[in-house]
Structure 1
Amino acid sequence: MKTLLPTSTAGSLPKPSWLAQPETLWSPWKLQGDELREGKQDALRLSLQEQQQAGIDIVGDGEQSRQHFVTTFIEHLSGVDFAQRETVRIRNRYDASVPTVVGEVSRQKPVFVDDAKFLRAQTTQPIKWALPGPMTMIDTLYDGHYKSREKLAWEFAKILNQEAKELEAAGVDIIQFDEPAFNVFFDEVNDWGIATLERAREGLKCETAVHICYGYGIKANTEWKKTLGSEWRQYEEIFPKLQKSNIDIISLECHNSRVPMELLELIRGKKVMVGAIDVATNTIETPEEVAATLRKALQFVDADKLCPCTNCGMAPLSRQVALGKLKALNAGAEIVRKELTGL
């Protein structure tokens, strides 16, 4: 029987302290060579176990084998020079030193497929795998070759499609494209961003999701949120076109955000991963707080299309806090399930 309100995470979960520096983005690995490969697999197994212990229904790898949700994918592509770095403004919010596109980009070999096979072998539960979306990839690079954001996005879409097809063949049930850049570059999203996303999912039979959030709980993002006023209506700009797209699931940030819930009406008919866990605080939600967010969302999303989720990745949090939050997500979903079924 299909689970009502299946819970999931947006992607990353904290890494164990023996693998990488905890509570840090872009944290360097503490192991190398075969030890690192084994360490990543051990961390993936541990992350899966913690998700299962918390009662999460759709599980992931917790992004244990990647330093960063975008750059780890790009590292495996040719045409990008990581030694040649430039400082760029990321999502119009903060400066970062990023690699340079120096020639035609291409994927010589699979990036995450072995990891996905490893995860698939550990569980019979549905698994979700996150990939960076084309627009967020171009926003995390300096383009010294194509000199066109759109051209580079189409190239990345083709590469992502190759990877996604192999992930599907490895047994992944849902492929999620992370597109936080969709909350910033509205004109580009509507002009070609959604089209490149559809190119990335072309020919897939598994379900596809797009995750659009306001970012990790890092200072640059929390400061930016303070400038957004009492209502965050960014989703309003892109939801109408996303609703018409062939992406199956839209994952968004709701809890402790100022996103008006009625915006969900704009994507009526899509499955929605409703972020009911705030990743920008160490405070663990109560099950009742989670349930309250889900009840509000149910005014605009049919119950069979709602998936309780986290707002964003939890890599910068401690493992203890992340596990507490996952347990709260499951307990809150269970409250609402009982209300819906009367059981």
Structure 2
Amino acid sequence: MKILLPTSTAGSLPKPSWLAQPETLWSPWKLQDEELIDGKQDALRLCLQDQLQAGIDIVSDGEQTRQHFVTTFIEHLSGVDFEKRETVRIRNRYDASVPTVVGAVSRQKPVFVEDAKFLRQQTKQPIKWALPGPMTMIDTLYDSHYKSREKLAWEFAKILNQEAKELEAAGVDIIQFDEPAFNVFFDEVNDWGIAALERAVEGLKCETAVHICYGYGIKANTDWKKTLGTEWRQYEEIFPKLQKSSIDIISLECQNSRVPMDLIELIRGKKVMVGAIDVATHNIETPEEVADTLRKALQFVDADKLYPSTNCGMTPLPRRVARGKLNALSLGAHIVRKELSNK
């Protein structure tokens, strides 16, 4: 029985305080060796429990086993030197010290596959797994080898495809690629970014998603948002080409954002993961507020293609707040489901 308006999260959920510093991005681990492996699995189980208790339909690992949504994947690849760091401008917004690509990049072993198998053993619910997209990966590195953003993106796309195929074999139902960089480098997205993403999903039979957001609720992002004016029309630049792409689901930010809802019309025919939870505030939405966002979205996307979700990841939020938001998402979707079935 396929459920209408299946709920999910866009990515990360808060980690328990015994595993990592709460409400902090890139927080270092508090455990090591065997204890760290056990601790990550315990956190994964707790995070799954929180989602199931809240009634989330498509569950995830909440990124409990990774420090960061991009670099944790890159750490497992050869050709990148984490000791050799350079400062680069990330998504034209803030400076960060990043590792350097020093040689040909390749994947010697699976990165998240064991974690995915572990999650699969714990639940019968559909599972969504997030990977960084090729363009967002190159935007988080200093490249002294390929000297071409496009060349490096194609290499990463091949590597991501290897990982994605093994995740699919481990029982993952939806593989999501996080591409916040798609909101910034429009020409590159249209020239080769979407093509590189399609290379990453080549040959997959499971559903594929691309998540394009305005970032975590951190200062660099909230400051940037203030410069975008009253209407955020970034999606307009890339949606027409994404609509023609082979990606199944497009995940975007709607709650408390200045994205005009009618832009969703540009991806008509695709499944749409509608962000109905604002991750940049500690205020917990009411189910009615969530329902209202979903109703607005339903003007531009068919009900059988609407997937209520969060705007972005929730790592920086207190666990209590994240749990409250998951409950609101679930209850809000339930309200609209009921309205639809009464029609």
TM-score range, shorter chain: over 0.9
Name structure 1 gaps, 5 residues minimum. none
Q: Report matched runs for 1:193-212 at 5 Å.
A: 193-212=193-212
CA distance in 2, matches of 1:230, 1:65: 37
Aligned to 1:113: 113
1:342 CA drift (Å): 1.1
Could you say which residue in structure 2 is the equivalent of 1:301?
A: 301
Q: Could you tell me which amino acid in structure 1 is paired with residue 321 of structure 2? A: V
* Distance in 2, Cα, partners of 1:185 & 1:135: 9
CA-CA distance at 1:204 after TM superposition:
0.2
Residue 88 of structure 1 deviates from its aligned partner by 0.3
Specify the alignment match of 1:316 in structure 2. Answer: 316
Matching residue of 2:56: 56
Percentage identity across paired residues of the two chains = 88
Partner residue in 2 for 1:184: 184
Q: Secondary structure at the match of 2:323?
A: helix
- For residues 50-72 of structure 1, the C-alpha deviation after alignment (integer angstroms, 9 at most, x for no partner) is 00010000000000000000000
C-alpha separation in 2, matches of 1:144 and 1:281? 38
SS across alignment from 1:168: helix
> Post-superposition, which runs of at least 4 consecutive aligned residues in structure 1 deviate over 4 A?
none
2 CA distance for matches of 1:143 and 1:327?
42
Equivalent residue runs for 1:273-288 within 5 Å? 273-288=273-288
The 3-state SS of whatever aligns with 1:89 is strand
Question: CA–CA distance in 1 between the matches of 2:260 and 2:290?
Answer: 16
Amino acid aligned to 2:83: A
Cα distance between partner residues in 2 of 1:2 and 1:77: 38
Letter in 1 for 2:104: E
| Structure 1 residue aligned with 2:89 | 89
Partner of 2:79: 79
How far off its partner does 1:207 sit? 0.2
Question: Per-residue displacement from partner, 1:96-151 (whole Å, max 9, x unpaired)?
Answer: 00000000000000000000000000000000000000000000000010000000
Indicate the residue corresponding to 2:229 in structure 1: 229
Find the residue that maps to 2:64 and give its secondary structure.
coil
Secondary structure at 1:74 match in 2: helix
Over residues 172-216 of structure 1, what are the superposed CA-to-partner deviations in whole Å (9 max), with x where a residue is unaligned? Answer: 000000000000000000000000000000000000000000000
Aligned to 2:240: 240
Aligned to 1:31: 31
Q: Which residue of 1 aligns with 2:164?
A: 164
Q: Which amino acid aligns with 2:293?
A: T
Partners of 1:199 and 1:242 in 2: CA distance = 14
Query: Aligned to 2:16, what secondary structure does the other structure show?
Result: coil
The 1-side partners of 2:318 and 2:67 are apart by 16
Aligned residue type for 1:309: S
Write the letter of the residue equivalent to 1:172.
Answer: V
The DSSP-based 3-state class of the residue aligned with 2:251 is: strand
3-state SS in 1 of match to 2:87: strand
User: Which string of whole-angstrom CA distances, capped at 9 and with x for unpartnered residues, describes residues 274-319 of structure 1?
Assistant: 0000000000000000000000000000000000000000000010
Letter in 1 for 2:298: L
Distance 2:145 2:25 in 1: 28
Q: What is the alpha-carbon distance in structure 2 between the residues aligned to residue 94 and residue 53 of structure 1?
A: 37
How many Å separate the matches in 1 of 2:286 and 2:113? 36
Letter aligned with residue 294 of structure 1: L
Equivalent residue number for residue 19 of structure 2: 19
> In the aligned structure 1, how far is the partner of 2:82 from the partner of 2:320?
34
Structure 2: runs of 5+ lacking an equivalent? none
Counterpart CA distance in 2 for 1:302 and 1:326 is: 23
| C-alpha displacement of 1:29 | 0.1
Cα distance between partner residues in 1 of 2:91 and 2:272: 24
Per the normalisation by structure 2, the TM-score is 1.00
**Whole-angstrom CA distance in 2 between matches of 1:337 and 1:223:** 36
* SS, match of residue 105 in structure 1: strand
Q: Does 1:123 align with 2:159?
A: no
User: SS of the residue aligned with 1:181?
Assistant: helix
Q: Which amino acid aligns with 2:23?
A: E
Other-structure match for 2:43: 43
TM-score of the pair, normalised by structure 1: 1.00
Q: RMSD in angstroms over aligned alpha carbons?
A: 0.5
2:326 alignment counterpart:
326
Partner of 1:262: 262
The AA in structure 2 aligned to 1:78 is S
Q: CA-to-partner distance for each residue in 1:207-244, whole Å, 9 max, x for gaps? A: 00000000000000000000000000000000000000
Count matched residues: 343
Give the letter aligned to residue 157 of structure 2. Answer: A
Distance 1:253 1:83 in 2: 35
